[in-house]
């Protein structure tokens, strides 16, 4: 029942992180010059399709809050199980600490799903690392990795909602230093069994071992980012795969930010195939365009308007929704054919995307509709995508449109 508007939230204070405009323009020029490489390289690989959920609580009429919470979490596990069966690549569970989402302990939910799935990758989306202890987070996801036989991943971010900060006794003014420091520790824990580390926000480690060790080496850690250029630069410098939350506006507008990521990655000496880009989008698929809109819009409008009240956004209107659903808009709502086309268009606009995930709880749909949407993603969107990916790359007109829009 909600979006993850990291992007909007971070914009408020992004001014102090902003790189100079010339740097953005330089990155854009390089992206134009070197376009062939990352695009072709990354389109050769199968793009991963997944679903993200925040474990929204849906109550049926007359149901107690506790009973509906239990049902909602078990329905989520059922969706993950079904996503595995229809061949989706990844399922993500968010982390929030507020009444309407039941995902305050994502590793616990993912572990239940691990016991019922065979192939699908299981990830947080995102772990609010700023407010967590990296030792506990590592322990939990390493355990998940053992349980799932090597299918665990983490997307770590600074968080978009702010309620975790007072809950865990943290100051919003430490928003970035908390994250930088905890990410540093998490990566050290991933790399070494015995860690020496000290920082400002957590007790030092003096060579203790942290267990269990995961099955995968390294356990995949993605950086979840919104619209802050410094976050893209950080992910590139660290050579971490990038998960960009794009939940409004036009997806292609993120191209310069993605190029900052690739450029910082190149400068730090990371191989291009290590610099993967994923997109977390709001989306929903139905048999027809009209059905998708009818299923998605009412819940979307309600949810985003409610969250907007906390954040000072105007109420959602139908014309705003139509714009977001249009050719370059961020919303991935439609029939399988048009959603597959849009995935490819967005991928090309960003210079090649390795993974796209659909957050569909926002529509407050029924379990039956969510399952049907997951089924269509696996049985119709994924095959269409593989087919279309073998068609020739788009001509210069599309490319120029992409570039000049920035």
Site track 136-175 with a second copy (rule: CB under 8 A), x = hit: x--xx--xxxxx-xx------------x--xxxxx-----
1 makes contact with a second copy (CB under 8 A): no
What number of helices (H) and strands (E) belong to the chain?
A: 16, 12
The answer to the question of residue 114 lying near a second copy (CB under 8 A) is: yes
Letters for 33-62 (x = contact with a second copy by CB under 8 A, - = none) are ------------------------x-----
- Structure tokens, 213: 């060790």
Count Cα atoms within 13 angstroms, Cβ side, for 37.
Answer: 12
With binding defined as CB under 8 A, does residue 112 bind a second copy?
yes
Q: What is the spatial distance between Cα 252 and Cα 263, in angstroms, rounded to a whole number?
A: 17
Q: Interface mask (CB under 8 A) for a second copy, residues 68-97, using x and -? A: -xx-xxx--x-------------------x
Q: According to CB under 8 A, which residues from 213 to 252 bind a second copy?
A: 213-215, 217
Tell me which DSSP letter residue 377 carries.
I
By CB under 8 A, tell whether 119 contacts a second copy: no
SS3 state of residue 358: strand
CB neighbourhood size of 88 (10 A): 25
Q: For residue 186, which of 231, 136, 148, 234 has the smallest C-alpha distance?
A: 136
Which of 203, 294, 383, 387 forms a contact with a second copy (CB under 8 A)? 203
Closest to a second copy by CB, 163 or 337: 163
Cα dihedral 313, 333, 389, 53, rounded to 10, equals 70
As a whole number of angstroms, the longest Cα–Cα distance in the chain is 61
Minimum CB distance to a second copy smaller for 99 or for 386 = 99
Q: For residue 163, give Cα distances in angstroms to 170, 227, 245.
A: 10, 20, 19
- State the minimum distance, in angstroms, from the CB of residue 202 to a second copy: 7
Q: Which residues bind a second copy (CB under 8 A)?
A: 57, 65-67, 69-70, 72-74, 77, 97-99, 101-102, 104-105, 107-109, 111-116, 133, 135-136, 139-140, 143-147, 149-150, 163, 166-170, 202-206, 208-215, 217
């Amino acid at each position: 029942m909600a979006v993850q508007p990291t992007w909007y939230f971070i914009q408020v204070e992004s001014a102090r992180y902003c790189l100079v405009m010339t740097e953005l323009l330089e990155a854009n020029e390089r992206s134009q010059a070197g376009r062939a490489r990352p695009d072709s390289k990354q389109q050769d690989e199968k793009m991963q399709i997944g679903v993200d959920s925040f474990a929204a609580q849906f109550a049926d009429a007359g149901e107690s809050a506790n009973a509906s919470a239990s049902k909602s979490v078990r329905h989520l596990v059922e969706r993950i199980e079904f996503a595995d069966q229809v061949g989706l690549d990844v399922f993500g569970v968010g982390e929030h600490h507020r009444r309407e989402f039941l995902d305050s302990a994502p590793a616990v939910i993912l572990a239940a799903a691990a016991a019922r799935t065979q192939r699908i990758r299981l990830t947080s989306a995102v772990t609010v690392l700023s407010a967590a202890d990296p030792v506990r987070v590592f322990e939990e996801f390493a355990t998940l990795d053992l349980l799932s036989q090597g299918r665990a991943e983490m997307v770590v971010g600074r968080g978009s909602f702010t309620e975790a900060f007072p809950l865990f006794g943290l100051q919003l003014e430490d928003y970035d230093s908390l994250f930088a420091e905890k990410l540093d520790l998490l990566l050290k824990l991933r790399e070494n069994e015995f860690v020496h580390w000290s920082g400002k926000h957590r007790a030092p480690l003096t060579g203790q071992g942290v267990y269990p060790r995961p099955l995968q080496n390294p356990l995949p850690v993605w950086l979840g980012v919104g619209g802050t250029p410094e976050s893209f630069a950080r992910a590139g410098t660290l050579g971490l795969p990038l998960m960009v939350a794009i939940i409004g506006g036009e997806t292609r507008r993120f191209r310069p930010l993605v190029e900052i990521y690739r450029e910082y990655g190149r400068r730090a000496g990371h191989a291009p195939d290590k610099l993967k880009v994923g997109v977390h989008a709001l989306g929903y698929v139905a048999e027809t365009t009209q059905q998708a809109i009818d299923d998605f819009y009412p819940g979307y409008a309600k949810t985003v308007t409610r969250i907007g009240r906390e954040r000072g956004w105007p109420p959602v209107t139908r014309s705003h929704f139509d714009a977001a659903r249009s050719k370059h808009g961020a919303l991935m709502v439609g029939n399988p054919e048009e959603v597959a086309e849009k995935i490819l268009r967005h991928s090309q606009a960003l210079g090649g995307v390795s993974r796209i995930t659909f957050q569909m709880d926002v529509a407050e749909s029924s379990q039956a509709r969510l399952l049907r949407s997951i089924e269509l993603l696996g049985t119709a969107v994924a095959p269409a995508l593989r087919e279309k990916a073998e068609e020739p790359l788009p001509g210069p007109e599309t490319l120029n449109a992409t570039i000049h829009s920035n």
